[in-house]
Amino acid sequence: MSAPIVRFAPSPTGRLHVGNVRTALINWLFAQAQGGKFILRIDDTDLERSTQEYEDGLKVDLTWLGLEWAGTFNQSDRFAEYDAAADTLRAMGLLYPCYESADELERKRKIALSRGRPPVYDRAALKLTDDEKAKLEAEGVKPHWRFKLSGERVEWTDLVRGPQSIDTSSLSDPILIREDGSYLYTLPSVVDDIEAGITHVVRGEDHVTNSGAQIEIFRALGGTAPDMAHTPLLIGADGQGLSKRLGSLSMGELRAEGYEPMSICSLLAKIGTSDNVEARSSLEELAAEFDFAKIGRAPARFDEAELKNLNAAILHGLPFDAVKERLAAVDPRAADEAFWTVVRENCSLLPEVAAWVDTVFGDIAPMVADEDKAFVAEAAALFPAGEATGETWSAWTNAVKEATGRKGRALFMTLRKALTGQEHGPDMGAILPLIGRERALKRLGS
């Protein structure tokens, strides 16, 4: 295989979410694994809904994830190229004007269905004479433009789904240009793929049917249709679609919650494949393991609990230098290597260190039951002299055990709750030196 050229083509009409990031990631991993190129195409032909803010945002998101691109361009800069392609198709008799309104098309669709026929456009517009077209346009009716399909069967071997076949006689001629002259996705995408030399189109399986028409447009314009890979869509942990949740699963939201980029990439790269879902340390590692043959046909299940577990695994292995600045942004007191080493195992998301900053350095409310107050006071009197070290907890609890007779949970949990206000947390032998002698005695009421 020659080095592939792939593209990710988001519309800047919203934030990137896990669904379209998975498509971007699969494209990137495939290109990286094969020594190819990953192109970012901004599909902003919808001038009313596309914004610079969203375009900037999706670029920030991709960069944060590590999905760097080899080149980028905006479709809004290429209307002249799309106009030229449309003129070529008109001259070939393959792009024809239609004058039905949306209501008329809907009535035709319902009539066809009621008669047990597929709701395929009847090509009535092809029967209009030039005079009839002129009359309609004189009345202010503006045409939309359809591509005339061959009616033949289009076949290709999909890299995920295997041999595919679309009978274009079962499809309506697709609309390429709206009544207002604006382009739908199909024609600009084909024109750009030809000019950019795209070798592989990797996208969701909801585009499979569209591929038959697009392959015919490639051929009509003198291009070669790229190889195609249509991947199963994402579903939630409950088996339902994610459409209602995508806002909360945007990269901006996940980044704000403190997720690590590699936890997101590790999950999205592995779900729906034959590989185990495990954290990886780099995109290059994921690329080395990538293979279209590993992608199954069943929907890929996105589970936020699984994402959090992966994030915890990655976070627990991050050295202090990798998180120092982010810790300081959470709380300047957190930017301490000893503190990070002790508390990271108790955090699934980095912002959770804030709670441990308060536990270690702040004023807390000790959890001491009335029946334990005398015991805690006696334990305070036995606290070893000098500043707390890594051996202090063991030496102290042994002394308390010998003096009071308490042991097990009644000893260790009572002192943990008195010192941290928590029932669970880091090893007390490690966290006690961070709390320090002065704070410890204060919390013990001494």
CATH number at residue 431: 1.10.10
- 75 has a pLDDT exceeding 60: yes
Q: What is the pLDDT of residues 231-256, one digit of tens each?
A: 999 998 888 777 655 566 899 999 99
What token pair was written down for 133?
Answer: 């077209």
Q: What is the pLDDT of residues 261-294, one digit of tens each?
A: 999 999 999 999 999 999 999 999 999 999 999 9
**Is 63 in the same domain as 195?**
yes
Q: What is the pLDDT of residue 247?
A: 62
**Is 126 in the same domain as 171?**
yes
Q: Among 133, 159, 177, which residue terminates a domain?
A: 177
**DSSP labels, 191-205:** HHHHHHT--EEEEEG
Count CB neighbours of 181 within 10 A: 13
The rounded distance, in Å, linking the Cα atoms of 405 and 168 is: 85
**Is 155 in the same domain as 126?**
yes
Count CB neighbours of 318 within 10 A: 16
- By DSSP bridging, strand 200-204 and strand 5-8 are unpaired
**Is 355 in the same domain as 341?**
yes
**Is 172 in the same domain as 99?**
yes
Q: What is the pLDDT of residue 241?
A: 76
DSSP 424: S
The rounded distance, in Å, linking the Cα atoms of 58 and 42 is: 10
Q: What is the pLDDT of residues 35-53, one digit of tens each?
A: 999 999 999 999 999 999 9
Q: What is the pLDDT of residues 140-165, one digit of tens each?
A: 999 999 999 999 999 999 999 999 99
**Is 227 in the same domain as 293?**
no
- 175 has a pLDDT exceeding 70: yes
What integer is the mean pLDDT of 106-122?
Answer: 91
Burial of 355 (0-12, 13-18, 19+ CB in 10 A): middle
Question: What pTM was estimated for this model as a whole?
Answer: 0.91
What token pair was written down for 324?
Answer: 């120092």
**Is 228 in the same domain as 241?**
no
What are the C-alpha distances in Å from 15 to residues 11, 176, 251, 252, 256? 9, 26, 7, 7, 13
What integer is the mean pLDDT of 353-382?
Answer: 92
The rounded distance, in Å, linking the Cα atoms of 348 and 363 is: 24
Q: For Cα atoms 81, 71, 73, give the angle at the middle one, nearest 5 degrees.
A: 35
User: Please, which residues have CB within 8 angstroms of residue 119's CB and are 6 or more apart in sequence?
Assistant: 108, 109, 110, 112, 113, 172
Q: What is the pLDDT of residue 309?
A: 97
Count CB neighbours of 335 within 10 A: 18
**DSSP labels, 247-275:** TTTBHHHHHHHT--HHHHHHHHHHTTBSS
Question: 58 with 44: CB under 8 angstroms?
Answer: no
The rounded distance, in Å, linking the Cα atoms of 415 and 119 is: 74
What integer is the mean pLDDT of 414-437?
Answer: 95
Number of domains within the chain = 5
| Better-predicted residue by pLDDT, 445 or 184 | 184
What integer is the mean pLDDT of 377-384?
Answer: 95
By C-alpha distance, which of 207, 218, 196 is closest to 37? 196
Q: What is the pLDDT of residue 366?
A: 84
**Is 203 in the same domain as 67?**
yes
Q: What is the pLDDT of residue 422?
A: 92
**Is 295 in the same domain as 338?**
no
What token pair was written down for 13?
Answer: 């009409």
Burial of 112 (0-12, 13-18, 19+ CB in 10 A): middle
**Is 165 in the same domain as 212?**
no
Q: What is the pLDDT of residue 238?
A: 83
The rounded distance, in Å, linking the Cα atoms of 334 and 356 is: 9
**Is 59 in the same domain as 191?**
yes
Q: List the domain range (segments joined by +) for residue 20.
A: 5-72+186-235
Q: Among 159, 177, 195, which residue terminates a domain?
A: 177
| Better-predicted residue by pLDDT, 362 or 92 | 92
**Is 57 in the same domain as 20?**
yes
The rounded distance, in Å, linking the Cα atoms of 392 and 434 is: 12
DSSP 241: B
